[in-house]
Structure 1
Amino acid sequence: MILQSKRLITSKSSQVITPRKFFIYKSDGRRVKFNENKILSTCIRAGASRHTAKRILKKVKSEVYRDMTSNDIYKKVLQAISEERGLKALHQRYQLKDAIMRMGPAGFAFENYIASILEYYDYRVTGIRSKIHGKCATHEIDLIGSKDDREFLIECKYHSLRGAYVGLKESLYTHARFLDLQPKFSGEVVFCNTKISNHAKKYAKCVGQQIFSWRYPATNSLEKIIEKHNLYPITILNLSQNELGIFSECNLMIAKDLLRYDEAKIARMTGISKKRIKNLQKLVEGIFYPK
């Protein structure tokens, strides 16, 4: 029988006792040890000071109980952040993973977003969803990126649900395309917004395939690439699905890019009202350039 009580309260002092080590359920169904350092490090990466991050963690820990889901803990972190004064920007940045998942249901917006990120890293994107003839078949390549006279085949694997993994099949599929298109490309790259399986990591390393996914590789994962230069997606602004489609078509996929033009020009580009654009620009300023 599973006890549903969130707290163990002593009869003498009514003091809340939180177990030192206990398990929670991940979105993919795995049961893992609760790791408070993940909350602390994610808050700091999103822009919180260490002191603020520790205060948020303390609030969350007082509400955590055994066999809770990781999604419930995530909501409690957001609630703790919202209760702090002046942390609206942190509240938005902490939702990076959800913001990327709101690019669905198809993966076209994610592909456009990755193209925008690559351009910030001085890659020239020469093709998006391009059809190229190989030795044995015609392939639609998500992105073609070039740098230093080298051209790369880039595949974007998007999932809109938490707990999904990119596995060996996707890595094999990308490498097969790369081989069929030789010698047109110098390298092959996979970008994905979820975690990647250990089998896929091992295979990619063996064949020389680069992978950038959630939490992998440790020093240059997708979220770290984004956080390093504040390349947060426009979906952190809580757009409607129609607005996302319009911004994607206009290649305005990075939130801070809304500040590159005045509201009148963006309104002409998108057909979205100047008032709405101005409000979105104010939100971007508040997130990245708070006064």
Structure 2
Amino acid sequence: MKVTKFSGELVLFDKEKLQHSLRKSGADEDAVFQVMHEIDKQLYEGIPTKKIYKLAFQLLKNFSNAHAARYNLRSAVQALGPAGFYFEKFIARLFEIEGFQTQTNLILDGKCISHEVDVLLKKENVVSMIECKFHGNQDAKSDVKVPLYIL
């Protein structure tokens, strides 16, 4: 059976991919089995993946709000927009929880130009920089030009 991706592309439905995402939310095997069973009954040729996702989210909520929230993480992160500033703060906070010292929105002078670094990390005398790319919709893509320019 084929499904319609967000981009409009038709692809074969991959049950394993959906099961994997349900397991990653923390759902146990019984919940995954029951959600998959319900979704199987409602599948049709060309069904949008967005509809499958919404259905899986609603069914998962019947088992656990916490698992449903983890399953819905992409939408939660998108709600941080439309500007990337809050996303950068969120990423910095994740690293702080892991014991890093962080700074955001720094302007560093290079040989030729100044560049804004979204997140600067330091832990045990190792300094790293993060270039965040926040996209408010699923079909946006980032290429490697910006990180290569920074390098």
Query: If the TM-score is normalised by the length of the shorter chain, which range does it land in?
Result: over 0.9
Counterpart CA distance in 1 for 2:3 and 2:126 is: 45
Question: Is the CA contact (8 Å cut-off) linking 1:56 and 1:80 kept in structure 2?
Answer: yes
- In the alignment, structure 2 segments of 5+ residues that lack a partner are none
- In the alignment, structure 1 segments of 5+ residues that lack a partner are 1-21, 179-291
Offset of residue 177 of structure 1: 2.0
Q: What are the Cα deviations for residues 40-61 of structure 1, in whole angstroms up to 9, with x where unaligned? A: 1111111111111111111011
Offset of residue 133 of structure 1: 0.9
The 5-angstrom pairing of residues 199-278 of structure 1 reads none
1:104 aligns to what?
Answer: 81
Structure 1 stretches of at least 4 aligned residues deviating more than 4 Å after TM superposition: none
Give the CA RMSD over aligned residues. 1.4
Question: Is the CA contact (8 Å cut-off) linking 1:144 and 1:153 kept in structure 2?
Answer: yes
Give the counterpart of 1:60 among 25, 36, 39.
Answer: 39
Question: Is the CA contact (8 Å cut-off) linking 1:128 and 1:142 kept in structure 2?
Answer: yes
Aligned length: 151
1:136 aligns to 2:112 (yes or no) = yes
Give the counterpart of 2:138 among 151, 162, 169.
Answer: 162
Offset of residue 30 of structure 1: 2.2
Which amino acid is 1:24 matched to?
A: V
Counterpart CA distance in 2 for 1:129 and 1:118 is: 15
Bigger Rg, which one: 1
Question: Is the CA contact (8 Å cut-off) linking 1:26 and 1:163 kept in structure 2?
Answer: no
Give the counterpart of 2:150 among 159, 165, 177.
Answer: 177
1:4 aligns to what?
Answer: none
Offset of residue 117 of structure 1: 1.1
Counterpart CA distance in 2 for 1:81 and 1:175 is: 40
Secondary structure, in 3 states, of the residue corresponding to 1:62? helix
Give the counterpart of 1:41 among 10, 20, 24.
Answer: 20
Question: Is the CA contact (8 Å cut-off) linking 1:28 and 1:164 kept in structure 2?
Answer: no
Counterpart CA distance in 1 for 2:96 and 2:5 is: 34
TM-score with structure 2 setting the length: 0.92
Q: What are the Cα deviations for residues 172-215 of structure 1, in whole angstroms up to 9, with x where unaligned? A: 2222223xxxxxxxxxxxxxxxxxxxxxxxxxxxxxxxxxxxxx
Secondary structure, in 3 states, of the residue corresponding to 1:117? helix
Question: Is the CA contact (8 Å cut-off) linking 2:6 and 2:50 kept in structure 1?
Answer: yes
Offset of residue 163 of structure 1: 2.1
Offset of residue 35 of structure 1: 0.8
Counterpart CA distance in 1 for 2:49 and 2:55 is: 10
Q: What are the Cα deviations for residues 12-39 of structure 1, in whole angstroms up to 9, with x where unaligned? A: xxxxxxxxxx111111222211011122
Secondary structure, in 3 states, of the residue corresponding to 2:43? coil
1:30 aligns to what?
Answer: 9
Give the counterpart of 1:114 among 85, 91, 97.
Answer: 91
Offset of residue 121 of structure 1: 2.4
2:126 aligns to what?
Answer: 150
Which amino acid is 2:2 matched to?
A: F
